[in-house]
Amino acid sequence: KVVFAGCGSSFSLCKSAAVSMNVHTDKTAFAVAAGDAMINFDYYENIFKDAVIVAPSRSGSTSEVVNLVKLAKEKFGSKCLCICAKEKSALSELSELSIELPWAFDESVCQTRTVTNLYTVNLTLAALVSGKKEILNDIEKAVSQIASFIESNKELCKTIGNSAQWNKVVVLADAEVEGIAEEGSLAFKEICQLPSNYYHVLDSRHGPMVLFDDKTLIIAVLSPKDEKYQKDFVADIMERNCTVLTVSQDEENIWGSTYHIALPKLAFAACGILFITAPQMLSLYKALSIGINPDLPKGLDPWIKL
């Protein structure tokens, strides 16, 4: 049993990690918000009992995560794997095993390369536990294509980001990329300081669609497992005059969306490594176009100390 625990961006990544672990291995995995589990530890005891904790973190110093790991160790003697972008952090010192990625540490308050690397390590962990070498190979291929993917889509993202048509964002995705897509949504709140939300693709019909309008940018990461239902969905949101950017493994825009970005034909989760660069670029160009400093959002610190 594995519990992925984090705060903010790291918690979003934990959601993808838990799905990957559940899908590809015989381990049961959960994703928990560290602050919630810290305060309500008694409620979560059955989850943490006999579980390994995996804690992805930029700083390794966030109070909620550190305190939660201490609680689990005191109560159950839990083992912890820390995946951290800083060396010799408080979380690393608490952990039985620490994977440190100092070269991935973001100096900006807003995370970009840090979340991409933490997501990649989480997915690699699931691939290693499962023994599925094809996923490891696809992760390697995705990483090797990041620079060319960014270069190929930079001008499109700049065009969309500079558009005055939209002032709120919805990111849609399913399955293993749900967590990295939620992080993509958070990027708009932090980097260009616009309202943003994440939903599962078809689930957004069940309430959220009421607020989809001509001021909404919708980024829809579409699954290779279906065409009909997702195509019908895109047609529905196009009728609401949204600006729609589809992201899928189709080279051509088969969806009838406003814009399209093509992903390589790799394992769907591995495509998340590439996908996340799109909302990061979009939010950057939007911030610059409306005069927002993308590195210094008001009221946000790189990590939280209670």
Asked whether residue 305 is assigned to any structural domain, the reply reads no
- Provide the pLDDT for residue 106: 81
Given a contact cutoff of 8 angstroms between Cβ atoms, the answer to whether 178 and 15 are in contact is yes
Asked whether residue 297 is assigned to any structural domain, the reply reads no
Asked whether residue 140 is assigned to any structural domain, the reply reads yes
- Give yes or no: residues 86 and 118 share one domain: yes
- Give yes or no: residues 142 and 277 share one domain: yes
Q: Write down the pTM of the prediction.
A: 0.95
Asked whether residue 296 is assigned to any structural domain, the reply reads no
Structural domain span for residue 22: 2-130
Asked whether residue 245 is assigned to any structural domain, the reply reads yes
Confidence of residue 303 (pLDDT cuts 50, 70, 90): low
- Provide the pLDDT for residue 142: 99
- Give yes or no: residues 172 and 263 share one domain: yes
- Give yes or no: residues 257 and 215 share one domain: yes
pLDDT tens profile 72-102:
999 999 999 999 999 999 999 999 999 999 9
Asked whether residue 36 is assigned to any structural domain, the reply reads yes
pLDDT surpasses 60 at 227: yes
- Give yes or no: residues 231 and 273 share one domain: yes
| pLDDT, the chain, mean | 96
pLDDT surpasses 60 at 302: no
pLDDT tens profile 229-238:
999 999 999 9
Mean pLDDT of 173-198: 98
Confidence of residue 109 (pLDDT cuts 50, 70, 90): confident
- Give yes or no: residues 117 and 159 share one domain: no
- Give yes or no: residues 176 and 274 share one domain: yes
Mean pLDDT of 233-258: 98
- Give yes or no: residues 97 and 178 share one domain: no
Asked whether residue 39 is assigned to any structural domain, the reply reads yes
pLDDT tens profile 116-175:
999 999 999 999 999 999 999 999 999 999 999 999 999 999 999 999 999 999 999 999
Query: How many structural domains compose the chain?
Result: 2
pLDDT surpasses 90 at 298: no
- Provide the pLDDT for residue 65: 98
pLDDT tens profile 7-26:
999 999 999 999 999 999 99
CA gap 4, 52 in Å, rounded: 9
Asked whether residue 300 is assigned to any structural domain, the reply reads no
- Give yes or no: residues 75 and 177 share one domain: no
| C-alpha distance from residue 279 to each of 141, 257, 291 (Å) | 21, 17, 18
- Give yes or no: residues 155 and 274 share one domain: yes
- Provide the pLDDT for residue 300: 61
The domain that holds 8 is classified in CATH as 3.40.50.10490
Confidence of residue 107 (pLDDT cuts 50, 70, 90): confident
- Give yes or no: residues 102 and 220 share one domain: no
- Give yes or no: residues 114 and 142 share one domain: no
Residue where one domain finishes, among candidates 130, 162, 193: 130
Residue where one domain finishes, among candidates 87, 114, 130: 130
pLDDT tens profile 206-215:
999 999 999 9
Residue where one domain finishes, among candidates 95, 130, 165: 130
